[in-house]
Chain A
Amino acid sequence: MIAQHELERRLQADAHDLDRHFPRADKLELQILARVAVTPLETRRRLAWRQELALAGLFVMVALLLVVGIGRLRALTQSVPAHPTPSVRSILAPGFRELGPWSGPYMVSQNDGWMVEGEPYDDLLRTSDGGAHWSQVQPSIDVLGLSQGGGLNFYAIDATHAWIVASPTSTTIINRTADGGRTWSSVTIQTPGHFGAVSFVDPKNGWLLAYASAANMQAGLTIGPVLVYRTTDGGAHWSRLSERVIPISGCQWNGISFISTTTGWMGVSCVSYPQRTSMLFVTHDGGVTWRAQSQPLGTWTCYAGVPIFTDETHGTVIACDAESRQVLLATSDAGKTWDLRPLPLPKVQADFLPQQITFSNAMHGWALRCSVPAGQDGVNFQLTDFYGTDDGGRTWHRMPTNLAHQTGGSCVGLSFLDAHVGLAVKHDLPPNGPSDASRLTQDLLKTRDGGVTWTLISTCDKPIGELRCQWMPP
């Protein structure tokens, strides 16, 4: 068996050999310089002094508007001392069911569930037997409108109704199914920028968060002012909610979620203002008007996700406080007030770590701590600790579990249907740990005792180089 370090040693040795044997580039450098000498530069036109003056005036105006905007934003929020800015991309936004390698299964009943798999453009899977068998229900990339690339967002509310929203360019394509993914319909709407997130409260009523400018999405930055679109017919028709753009620049919108046709939230994290701030925006008129909601963290936090509700009144938001500690905001009055509760997770780091926090009801929740072992690279995130709470996140205890043993120590995507039944997906990691390269597998594990004992219920072998695999009972 070739170990990781041995492979890396051979790659580095080959890099050395390549460098040693690769031809000298003296001639090439001369050719490049000769080529450059005859290459015309892109035209740069000197502005007339009047134009320069007008441009300077414009800059002053923009600066003044910026100062006024910052003042208004600060007036909306409470001020606390500044501190260093950590990454706001370190935490996966809950409820923002982004297609990615760490997406967990999403069970809507004991038997029915959805799962997004792999990197973007991989599979959307559906089970109707509690997770033993999964079938591919995703429309083709052409139908999705992603032949030219772009983002993807998935949302399901029950066993039959789901939406896949794609945004290849400055259009947004909403694909919807009402029969569990057997057939899909799509509608395209023109949006100024890329979409950000989607949320539905029933088969008819949904909202779409779109960035107000395509320029804001350059280099993958999900920042800038946003627009909200609304549907009342399941996604066949969309209308923009007023002409008012929520006018905050330099901020990352972490998703949108509604608990009724009138009340919803958006989580926003701002890093490019003079000081960082994160907040929840709330609407009580179906998304037409929004205001910053006060919560116990104040405003100078590093992250605010969107609320995930487990019933009509109880919900949680992942956030992090002024010291970059990951914390929980919990509500038991449908989001009118929020309590601050701890999370047994490390401080937000600059690097990506797939933390999983999930609640099945108002009381029962689970938190997974994953880490990259010292001295190792790659995506072999290791499951470090598994925590549970039975008092709504007020206290957490480390759980005795065989999950790490069952996954060979690998981290998982996690979800719970109730206090007892949960599913965990181990993505794309070799079966016997990072050093085993004999095959590439994904495993689905199930617990019926709240996370203590996990058993393998389905597995899939993915041939090297193939995107898809067949989930089958072991």
Chain B
Amino acid sequence: MRAGERPEARGTWLKTDERSWFEPLVRSLGRPAWKYAFILVRDLDLAQDLVQEAFAKVWASANTPSRDVEFRRYLYRTIANLAHNYRRQQVMAALHPVTAPALIDPLDEVDRRAADMVVRAALRGLGAREREAVYLRYYEDLSFAETARIMNAPQVTIRVIVHRALVKLRRQLEVNLSGDKVAIP
């Protein structure tokens, strides 16, 4: 059996201990999926949890596609759904606040080490769908068609989302640019 090929794709029944097809996918997609989740939820630890959960879900699901490209699409959609659920829970939690200890934002730590903090800050100002689209398009260098497939939306919608996001980013960067300038008396 080739790596990345699911057993049932060859007409055999999946055994509970059969993981040979899955491990290479975890190795190749674990870190990219973590980065993707991080961009969505802006929290390294939470992103790690989401990625674990997503891999577990796609492993357990009978509908998980076998081909690598489709597997990644399926995995990314699962991560996006989990991130969406998380945001919804956050909204609910905000409606019913409880006292929680202050935590260090891991995003700040990554940001601190990143070279272009202005771009990262501007990215954080985008909406969730915009951030997701920009990340897939420019950070994973995917085509509009593939981005649309992962985000489960028509290609033209993705083009509009990306266009609007870029306009917002440019505007934000303009503001930062002008904010950096110091008037000489």
**Chain A residues proximal to chain B, CB less than 8 Å:** 1-2, 4, 7-8, 10-15, 17-19, 21-25, 28-29, 31-33, 35-37, 39-42, 44, 46, 100-101, 119, 219-220, 351-352, 377-380, 428, 430, 437-438, 440, 464-465
Contact = CB atoms under 8 A, between A and B. Distances in A.
Interface in B130-158: 134, 138-141, 144, 152, 154-157
B59 A39 contact: yes
Contacts of B144: 377
Given A379-B159, A428-B163, 5 more contacts: A2-B174, A29-B30, A41-B16, A352-B159, A437-B166
A7 B44 contact: no
A37 B19 contact: yes
A14 B168 contact: no
B9 interface: no
| Interface-centre pick from A2, A19, A379, A465 (highest chain B CB count, 10 A) | A379
A80 B185 CA distance: 79
Nearest to A440: B167
Contacts of B163: 378-380, 428
B60 A465 contact: no
Contact of B55 (A15, A18, A35): A35
B119 interface: yes
B181 to A, nearest CB: 14
Contact of A33 (B19, B38, B119): B19
Nearest to A10: B119
Contacts of B139: 11, 14-15, 18
Contacts of B120: 14
Contacts of A4: 166, 170
Contacts of A430: 167
A15 B19 CA distance: 32
B42 to A, nearest CB: 12
Contacts of B134: 11
Contacts of B114: 14, 17-18, 21
B14 interface: yes
A13 B170 contact: no
A100 B157 CA distance: 9
A464 B164 CA distance: 8
5 contacts: A2-B170, A33-B26, A36-B55, A379-B156, A437-B167
- Contact size range, B: 35 or more
Contact of A23 (B22, B44, B52, B177): B44
A428 B170 CA distance: 15
Top 5 A-B residue pairs of the complex, sorted by shortest distance between their CB atoms: A437-B170, A25-B31, A15-B139, A11-B138, A378-B163
Given A17-B115, A219-B152, A7 B170 contact: yes
B174 to A, nearest CB: 6
Nearest to B110: A21
A31 B52 contact: yes
Contact of A377 (B52, B162, B169): B162
A10 B31 contact: no
A222 to B, nearest CB: 11
B23 interface: yes
A28 B36 CA distance: 14
Interface string B96-136: 00000000000000100111100110010001000000100
Given A14-B120, A119-B160, A8 B138 contact: yes
A351 B134 CA distance: 20
A17 B35 CA distance: 12
A17 to B, nearest CB: 5
A16 to B, nearest CB: 9
B173 interface: yes
Interface in B1-53: 8, 13-14, 16, 19, 22-23, 26-27, 30-31, 34-35, 38, 44, 48, 51-52
Nearest to A437: B170
A37 B127 CA distance: 36
B59 A36 contact: yes
A21 B113 CA distance: 7
B69 interface: no
Contacts of A380: 163
Given A32-B55, A465-B168, A7 B13 contact: no
Nearest to A1: B174
Given A33-B23, A36-B22, A22 B138 contact: no
B67 interface: no
Contacts of B35: 18-19, 22
A31 B33 CA distance: 14
A29 B26 CA distance: 6
Given A36-B22, A378-B162, A437-B170, A41 B138 contact: no
Contacts of A352: 155-156, 159
Contacts of A219: 152
B30 A32 contact: yes
